[in-house]
Structure 1
Amino acid sequence: MSYEAIRLDIDSSSHVATITLNRPDKLNSFTRAMHQELGAALDQVETSGTRALVLTGAGRGFCAGQDLGDLDFTPGAMTDLGAVIDEYFNPLIRRLQALAFPVIAAVNGTAAGAGANLALACDLVLAARSASFIQAFVKIGLVPDSGGTWFLPQRVGMARALGLAITGDKLSADKAESWGLIWQVLEDAEVAPAAARLATQLAQQPTRAIAAIKQAMRAGTTQTLAQQLDLERDLQRELGASHDYAEGVQAFIEKRAPRFEGR
């Protein structure tokens, strides 16, 4: 399938896929067509044997959120924002969170509105030092969506989450890292190669275990300790019967590097 609003690259040798949001003249803001292309690309990624995914943006920005030009502001016929969220943004966030392999956001510039929360929906966020994160919703009378009201309090605490959401102030990449909002800040020119190296490294790891780690960590935000202990037990039982567990133990005994297959 050919794409216009995104670029898709799948490296079969490293099992790494890269999706680049490709509307640089609009800071890679979302339209319905872009959502549809991104969904199709994720379908392709999931059936390609990919074991790690990098999500980034073309040009000087990562993603500016919703393209307001794709909405109708005609009095009496304004676009139902809830319908747009329900049809496009929420399924995308749920899908990214549920992918059975690691997802890395390489934030190369502004990540604003839903674009900021798109990055936070990935498992690890690498950001250029010049990048920034903006919960811009309040500037036009809206509430953070695409998981913003869930991601922010968990990562930076309620006081900082409310501050970011209520003021809509720009948060620098350095401060985002120091607050624990993202994983790592790098010099601008190093973000793309560092994301590629990390994805290649993670693609060689036991990705089935990584998927279980993601599941357990996220479940822990809403479950009791007793429920979490039971989940850990169940996941460990399942992983204990996997090829990768047997390979990891054998490699340890033989003092060699393991050859994980994600099964």
Structure 2
Amino acid sequence: MAEREDSFVAVERVGSAVRLVLDRPGRGNALVPELLRDLRGAIERASTLHPPALILTGRGRAFSAGGDVSAFADAAGDPARLQAFSSEIVGELNGAILDLLAFPAPVIALVNGPVTGGSAGLVFASDIVLMSESAFLQPWYSEVGFCPDGGWTALLPERIGAARAMAVQVFNTRYSPADCLSLGLAHALAAPEDLEALLQTTVAQITQKDAGTLAMARSLIWSPERRERVASALERERQGFLQLVGRAETARRMKAFLGKGST
């Protein structure tokens, strides 16, 4: 599977499974349109290989820091540019989420580190979430002034209930690995040094199952009708994002966020 030398997504093999690695470690694997386009292309190519499972993880200490706030801030002085950039990045993220939901094999999120903002959608769209004990999940939208995207309203309420999904936005709650396990957002936890071994065991278990059964089950669970409902909800997130991102209050909050950092 050939890939560009400058690709933001590395493609690796784990036995017969395919692993996609978000590869922008100097920026915490923060999402930009180029990375998301690389991810979508890698997902499409992986589907042609008919792997027993698709694995998604991040390079370095973070899974992904979500949308690159500095890139939004750089565009904030030009309203047309900011709207175009925001529409592109949220649109590509929505496309990547839907690509994962349509993938014809189980999808594993190997959460090696923090997951913030819209990158959580890549985890929400996965079937099996293996999480490092050094990781966490946190939205940050109410601090920065963005509309929740990445499925925080389109996918999460179905997983944990509407009240919890709203509360996490109100309080910018940081979900620990134990929280994610208890809420059903993670399936297994491991110390950072043991995460790869947990992945190997999980992939071995999947490859022992009937691939046709798993593919059929996934296509029935994520039926075209269900994916269309998710697509409509994701589009509402995109429209909400465009509505809020150009406000003076959002510009002020972005500046404050970048001045103090996110952790």
Task: Please classify the TM superposition score into its range, dividing by the shorter chain length.
Answer: 0.7 to 0.9
Does structure 1 residue 206 correspond to structure 2 residue 210?
yes
Give the corresponding residue for 1:16: 17
Q: Match for 2:111 among 107, 114, 117?
A: 107
Q: Match for 1:95 among 87, 96, 99?
A: 99
Q: Match for 1:163 among 159, 162, 167?
A: 167
Give the corresponding residue for 1:136: 140
> Larger helix proportion, structure 1 or 2?
2
Identity of aligned residues (%): 27
Partner of 2:198: helix, strand, or coil? helix
* CA distance in structure 2 between the partners assigned to 1:167 and 1:211 by the alignment: 38
Q: CA deviation at 1:41?
A: 1.5
* CA distance in structure 1 between the partners assigned to 2:171 and 2:11 by the alignment: 35
Give the corresponding residue for 1:68: 69
Partner of 2:206: helix, strand, or coil? helix
Q: CA deviation at 1:99?
A: 0.4
| Structure of higher RCO (CA pairs closer than 8 Å, 6+ residues apart) | 2
Give the corresponding residue for 1:2: 4
Does the Cα contact within 8 Å between 1:17 and 1:45 map onto a contact in 2? yes
Q: CA deviation at 1:50?
A: 1.7
* CA distance in structure 2 between the partners assigned to 1:99 and 1:3 by the alignment: 25
Structure 1 residues 167, 41: CA separation in 2 closer, same or farther (over 3 Å shift)?
same
Q: CA deviation at 1:157?
A: 1.5
Structure 1 residues 23, 165: CA separation in 2 closer, same or farther (over 3 Å shift)?
same
* CA distance in structure 1 between the partners assigned to 2:207 and 2:76 by the alignment: 45
Q: CA deviation at 1:159?
A: 1.9
* CA distance in structure 2 between the partners assigned to 1:149 and 1:209 by the alignment: 30
Does structure 1 residue 149 correspond to structure 2 residue 153?
yes
Structure 1 residues 117, 215: CA separation in 2 closer, same or farther (over 3 Å shift)?
same
Partner of 2:54: helix, strand, or coil? strand
Rg: which structure is higher?
1
Residues 3-45 of structure 1, C-alpha deviation per residue, up to 9 Å, x if partnerless?
432211135xx32111111111111111122112212222221
Matches within 5 A, 1:235-246: none
Give the corresponding residue for 1:36: 37
Stretch of structure 1 that moved more, 112-121 or 88-97: 112-121
Stretches of structure 1 that go unaligned for 5 or more consecutive residues are: 223-263
Aligned residue identity for 2:198: A
* CA distance in structure 1 between the partners assigned to 2:90 and 2:20 by the alignment: 21
Partner of 1:148: helix, strand, or coil? coil
Does the Cα contact within 8 Å between 1:28 and 1:63 map onto a contact in 2? yes
Structure 1 residues 217, 76: CA separation in 2 closer, same or farther (over 3 Å shift)?
closer
Aligned residue identity for 2:11: L
Structure 1 residues 145, 204: CA separation in 2 closer, same or farther (over 3 Å shift)?
same
Partner of 1:66: helix, strand, or coil? coil
* CA distance in structure 1 between the partners assigned to 2:206 and 2:217 by the alignment: 13
Aligned residue identity for 1:54: I
Aligned-pair Cα RMSD in Å: 2.1
* CA distance in structure 1 between the partners assigned to 2:164 and 2:125 by the alignment: 18
Alignment length (residue pairs): 219
Aligned residue identity for 1:179: L
Give the corresponding residue for 1:127: 131
Q: Match for 1:197 among 201, 206, 217?
A: 201
Does structure 1 residue 82 correspond to structure 2 residue 87?
yes
Give the corresponding residue for 2:254: none
Does structure 1 residue 27 correspond to structure 2 residue 28?
yes
